[in-house]
Structure 1
Amino acid sequence: MSSLKTSVSKDMLRPTGRVVGIIKRNWRPYCGMLSKSQIKEARRHLFTPADRRIPRIRIETRQADTLEGQRIIVAIDGWPRNSRYPNGHFVKNLGSAGDKETETEVLLLEHDVPHQAFSQAVLSFLPKMPWSITEEDMKHREDLRHLTVCSVDPPGCTDIDDALHCREIGNGNLEVGVHIADVSHFIRPGNALDEESVKRGTTVYLCEKRIDMVPELLSSNLCSLRSNVDRLAFSCIWEMNHKAEILKTRFTKSIINSKASLTYAEAQMRIDSATMNDDITLSLRGLNKLAKILKKKRIENGALTLASPEVRFHMDSETHDPIDLQTKELKETNSMVEEFMLLANISVAQKIYDEFPEFALLRKHPAPPPSNYDILVKAAKSKNLEIKTDSAKALAESLDKAESPTFPYLNTLLRILTTRCMMQAVYFCSGMDNDFHHYGLASPIYTHFTSPIRRYADIIVHRLLAVAIGADSTYPELTDKHKLAEMCKNLNYRHKMAQYAQRASVAFHTQLFFKTKGVVNEDAYILFVRKNAIVVLIPKYGLEGTVFFEEKDKPTPKLEYNSEVPSLTVEDTIFHVFDKVKVNIMLDDSNIQHQKMRMVLVEPKVRPKIPRTILSFINVKNHHVVKWKFNPEEKT
């Protein structure tokens, strides 16, 4: 009796409450579709928002016939206490549902991505064309046009932020330079151009369009480090020995003239060529050699190498519809560029923190709480592998060892799963925090310096660095830690929303791709098991989806979920994490507003335990009588 009493009183101690008033409404304009009233010539209709968390909204309109099948924007006016739905009004018609332009507009609005054209006030602060470098621009700047600088980027890249050089110097050591577009030269604190850039926070890359953070004149022209033109840069230059140890570091505003704009493939071809020995190629070989040493050191230090199944769409040149999908292939040169960008970011972080310990803008990656790793540890254990998670180094080392000769893809799956255990990396102000560590990179300090064309955080870092080296003057907001902390909050939000918008764009293009494909049969691997489903990854398409075992209007199979192993038993078939299965992938467009990819298990076949003699039975569920008929000739 006493134990019962205890459990009751414990339950009663759970904090409970009720809403007594709403201080501030967090309403915004919502995208969605009209659910037209069935009553003839009715003026009151319901609007269904695209965001499933938002209730339907009652609106009045005479245009219901023309708005049917369209994506529209509705704003909420109020929510009467006695009403099931809020009241709102029609704002704007975005276009037909399913249309590519319309859906792109919807995903930008729903993820709060500022994407309107730049205003005249913003454009008025751009340099007048034709633009050239003046004597005034050369003040506090070093002329580095004689150096063999080149950039390495993805094909078709027009916003080139960074360029590199490497050469031997007299004492047998190497001089290595990372040259970053000097965007802060063109965007001055507090003007309309600066305010618009900080509001946008980041450039957003969708499948076939880019929402620039700064106007095109800067992003694709004056700040882009294109080849054979003079450009203003901010350079981080190291003297290194052949073991990639840094002997000296210096920072300087500069003027450079890039000798080549290469793609990753072109740079790789030069490095590998037996006949090419020109200055650009020699510089690339030197960089590549050092990058390999730097990467090895970083990994020995405990940095994580995590996998994500990224895909690229190949578009039809006329219709711009996706016609092919391929997983991104990473070359040695991708890694080469990445190593020097990381090194520059770390060097700059240390410099601005030494100068401004109270208001350096830094980036940290918190260590995940140990419970985050449960799923990873259990999944590895089910394959007789041990993953240690007490430190980033232990995790990195156990991931490296987690190989299976009979299942080469297992290591990639483990790394993908590890990514899901991670925390989000965030910007912060050094004077408002005391944990600076970047867990994923195993670095005690880190910031963003190398992409000022597409990230506003880097512009602030450039301004701090310029003040630190006496190349520019400070201004009040730059040394106000509260204002910087507020700005970091906005930047973190913008980065998160950009990420979500990018994912939504990939999801939409995936749907377009499968629209013309019909049903596709593919190999998949189980990433997670749930209580009534399995989550699978299809490597060929970098696509993830859920296979449900409980379906509407079908008899429910016997399900047993074991969270310890983890596994799910469906009838007599057991599913473990990382098992290989075959699925049919198809587009489910039954709900035009929420089209989704549907996955159905093909192999292994789940056989229901049903006596062959039973030809039919009646299932009473939710007060509906459903009649099932089984054919004894069928194998399933």
Structure 2
Amino acid sequence: MSSNSSDMLRPTGRVVGIIKRNWRPYCGMLSKSQIKEARRHLFTPADRRIPRIRIETRQADTLEGQRIIVAIDGWPRNSRYPNGHFVKNLGSAGDKETETEVLLLEHDVPHQAFSQAVLSFLPKMPWSITEEDMKHREDLRHLTVCSVDPPGCTDIDDALHCREIGNGNLEVGVHIADVSHFIRPGNALDEESVKRGTTVYLCEKRIDMVPELLSSNLCSLRSNVDRYMYMIHTLILAEILKTRFTKSIINSKASLTYAEAQMRIDSATMNDDITISLRGLNKLAKILKKKRIDNGALTLASPEVRFHMDSETHDPIDLQTKELKETNSMVEEFMLLANISVAQKIYDEFPEFALLRKHPAPPPSNYDILVKAAKSKNLEIKTDSAKALAESLDKAESPTFPYLNTLLRILTTRCMMQAVYFCSGMDNDFHHYGLASPIYTHFTSPIRRYADIIVHRLLAVAIGADSTYPELTDKHKLAEMCKNLNYRHKMAQYAQRASVAFHTQLFFKTKGVVNEDAYILFVRKNAIVVLIPKYGLEGTVFFEEKDKPTPKLEYNSEVPSLTVEDTTFHVFDKVKVNIMLDDSNIQHQKMRMVLVEPKVRPKILRTMLSFSNVKKSSCGKMEI
């Protein structure tokens, strides 16, 4: 056996028994039998991993061309297909509402309307702050507080302020909505929130974790209204001198977009209190970021896309990668500061029961493709530690190829492990690799993440603002909750990517053939994976096609490169492709591309676009 064959060996096994069936209702389409008046038909699930299911129905004519739900009843030993039954008709295939319903169901996203039992625990309207509440909170309504968010954001859960307080010192306040005031432990509203785990941001809609009265009204930090808050009060000179936590009441003076905040910071004529506060925050954020990076924090890249919708049809009319401004980084730095500060506080108070978030270091083998790709461009990437990786990425520049550094950071992102929630009493590795922080949690987005609500409750007990309850100090129950939150977070990401994929198909549906530049991210034994920067899309160009002669292929895993006939492709090479929508299979529509440059003779090569690695739509927020 050759050494190459030995390298490809993998452990194998066989199924010896099934402990529990993981069957669920499946979305898909009916493949109507060709036999006239037949009652038995095959159902093709949307999930390609699931086999076709045989069902009996007299509604075949009505259900043809519809998206339907089918449940499995059993799988006879002598049958090629499992048996099932029709459950529900979701609507016409290709319809936006229908396809959105399908992707939510397929990714197990709870999205039903909130029940009356849940809604009964909401505050009665009209709602206002009471004198009793004022006794237990600091009144900070005089401060120049403002929020900075994406355009159209209504679930605003964080705001900031910065002011000089003498002796060259600056006071910074990170203000976070006190959602835990409205969601009390153990009631129906709390149980529904933990079940959902997270808000899911699709391209055209948002699936809230909490009812809209809270998410877009009473907890949202809209301008010129009083709101209950947590404040992290930080005194900064050249470094952080003191941090204090308190429950408070604020009145936001402005709800700004990132672009509006950036415009104020850059303006030569604006010098009002809000603008001065923003400039102070931006200056401090740069200092905090430099300190983080000096400690070994990673700065990675991931293409994020934004759709512009037609105001009447709500179809996507433009698709472009999201442009980040200084103000994006400004807000991020203070959210990180708050999360790290709260993580340490709750761990000091509850060493066995703190809900934390960690990011494991990747195994060395994960970096193989990155190191080899960089080496092919005469660059060295060191992966001994996060700091070594960060420093080598900073040095990996090419004067003749400015986009190379971005491609390397995108590739580095693919090497990373998934960050997860955990209970401090059930683990001893707290380190967050990407942030180079010994401890971390999520505190700053309680409207959209249930983990933050638990952290709020822990902090309230730690500062004497609330009392504990049994489940909060049960590490086994917290560990189970973390397991659910990690699952919900993962499925939300998958649903968001599926939404981006569907809306990308809608966008290209009327565009015909579009010609764009692309860069090679990976080379395989029979394919290249390309990234189209303009649209943030990835596609796999296959050089072997069914029923067609196979071209001569030579793969070099060390360079890495792939030679097809007389044309050699390397990682990071620039190519040109034509993009078009293939809707011949209505259930599994896909993007197709044709390699335009360089030309490979004598074939015209088709490419199939895969959305499995699209990171996140612009309507969602990146999680760390």
C-alpha distance in 2 between matches for 1:19 and 1:134? 63
Deviations 1:54-92 (A, max 9, x none): 111110000001100100000001111111111100000
Deviations 1:501-526 (A, max 9, x none): 00000000000111101111111000
Whether the 8 Å contact between 1:240 and 1:247 is mirrored in structure 2 is yes
Aligned to 1:463, what secondary structure does the other structure show? Answer: helix
C-alpha distance in 1 between matches for 2:114 and 2:614? 60
Deviations 1:394-433 (A, max 9, x none): 1111111101111100000000000000000000000000
Aligned to 2:608, what secondary structure does the other structure show? Answer: coil
C-alpha distance in 1 between matches for 2:513 and 2:260? 38
Whether the 8 Å contact between 2:592 and 2:607 is mirrored in structure 1 is no
C-alpha distance in 2 between matches for 1:260 and 1:617? 38
C-alpha distance in 2 between matches for 1:106 and 1:222? 31
Aligned to 2:512, what secondary structure does the other structure show? Answer: coil
* Range that drifts further, 165-174 or 262-271: 165-174
Change in 2 beyond 3 A, CA 1:561/1:436: same
Report deviation, 1:19: 3.4
C-alpha distance in 2 between matches for 1:385 and 1:479? 50
Report deviation, 1:608: 4.0
Aligned to 1:630, what secondary structure does the other structure show? Answer: coil
Change in 2 beyond 3 A, CA 1:284/1:569: same
Whether the 8 Å contact between 2:169 and 2:235 is mirrored in structure 1 is yes
Aligned to 2:117, what secondary structure does the other structure show? Answer: helix
* Range that drifts further, 18-27 or 202-211: 18-27
1:338 to 321, 328, 332: 332
Whether the 8 Å contact between 1:560 and 1:570 is mirrored in structure 2 is yes
Aligned match of 2:594:
600
Report deviation, 1:554: 2.2
Report deviation, 1:21: 3.2
Change in 2 beyond 3 A, CA 1:611/1:536: closer
Aligned match of 1:628:
617
Whether the 8 Å contact between 1:323 and 1:513 is mirrored in structure 2 is yes
Aligned to 2:606, what secondary structure does the other structure show? Answer: coil
Report deviation, 1:108: 0.2
Deviations 1:90-140 (A, max 9, x none): 000001111111000000000000000000000000000000011232243
Change in 2 beyond 3 A, CA 1:457/1:38: same
Whether the 8 Å contact between 2:304 and 2:322 is mirrored in structure 1 is yes
Deviations 1:130-188 (A, max 9, x none): 00011232243111111111101111110000000111114431111000000000000
Instruction: For structure 2, list consecutive stretches of 5 or more residues without a partner in the other structure.
Output: none
Change in 2 beyond 3 A, CA 1:49/1:239: closer
2:140 to 137, 144, 154: 144
C-alpha distance in 2 between matches for 1:289 and 1:247? 17
Instruction: For structure 1, list consecutive stretches of 5 or more residues without a partner in the other structure.
Output: 1-5, 622-626
Whether the 8 Å contact between 2:540 and 2:608 is mirrored in structure 1 is no
Aligned to 1:584, what secondary structure does the other structure show? Answer: strand
Superposition TM-score, scaled by structure 1 size: 0.93
Matched, 1:272 2:266: yes
Aligned to 2:168, what secondary structure does the other structure show? Answer: coil
C-alpha distance in 2 between matches for 1:358 and 1:631? 32
Change in 2 beyond 3 A, CA 1:244/1:344: farther
Change in 2 beyond 3 A, CA 1:255/1:11: closer
Whether the 8 Å contact between 1:35 and 1:48 is mirrored in structure 2 is yes
Deviations 1:31-72 (A, max 9, x none): 000011110000000100000111111100000011001000
Deviations 1:277-308 (A, max 9, x none): 11111111111110010001111111111111
Whether the 8 Å contact between 1:152 and 1:337 is mirrored in structure 2 is yes
Matches within 5 A, 1:213-224: 213-224=209-220
Whether the 8 Å contact between 2:158 and 2:444 is mirrored in structure 1 is yes
Whether the 8 Å contact between 1:525 and 1:579 is mirrored in structure 2 is yes
Report deviation, 1:348: 0.2
Aligned to 1:286, what secondary structure does the other structure show? Answer: helix
Change in 2 beyond 3 A, CA 1:609/1:315: closer
Report deviation, 1:244: 4.3
Matched, 1:318 2:318: no
**Could you say what the CA RMSD is over the residues aligned between the two structures, in angstroms?**
7.6
Report deviation, 1:457: 0.2
Change in 2 beyond 3 A, CA 1:13/1:370: closer
Matched, 1:161 2:157: yes
Whether the 8 Å contact between 1:183 and 1:459 is mirrored in structure 2 is yes
1:392 to 386, 403, 408: 386
Aligned to 1:593, what secondary structure does the other structure show? Answer: coil
Change in 2 beyond 3 A, CA 1:222/1:244: farther
Aligned to 2:215, what secondary structure does the other structure show? Answer: helix
Superposition TM-score, scaled by structure 2 size: 0.94
C-alpha distance in 1 between matches for 2:57 and 2:620? 52
Deviations 1:337-386 (A, max 9, x none): 00000000000000000000001000000000000000000000001111
Whether the 8 Å contact between 1:615 and 1:631 is mirrored in structure 2 is no
Change in 2 beyond 3 A, CA 1:369/1:618: closer
Deviations 1:572-600 (A, max 9, x none): 10000000001111111121111111122
Report deviation, 1:8: 17
Change in 2 beyond 3 A, CA 1:267/1:373: same
Whether the 8 Å contact between 1:615 and 1:629 is mirrored in structure 2 is no
What is the aligned length? 623
Report deviation, 1:273: 1.4
C-alpha distance in 1 between matches for 2:424 and 2:446? 20
Aligned match of 1:494:
488
Whether the 8 Å contact between 2:539 and 2:610 is mirrored in structure 1 is no
Deviations 1:424-465 (A, max 9, x none): 000000000000000001100000000000000000000000
C-alpha distance in 2 between matches for 1:455 and 1:78? 38
Change in 2 beyond 3 A, CA 1:284/1:318: same
Change in 2 beyond 3 A, CA 1:596/1:448: same
Change in 2 beyond 3 A, CA 1:299/1:10: closer
Change in 2 beyond 3 A, CA 1:241/1:51: same
Provide the identity percentage. 96
C-alpha distance in 2 between matches for 1:553 and 1:618? 26
Whether the 8 Å contact between 1:613 and 1:632 is mirrored in structure 2 is no
Matched, 1:382 2:383: no
Whether the 8 Å contact between 2:203 and 2:618 is mirrored in structure 1 is no
Aligned to 1:22, what secondary structure does the other structure show? Answer: coil
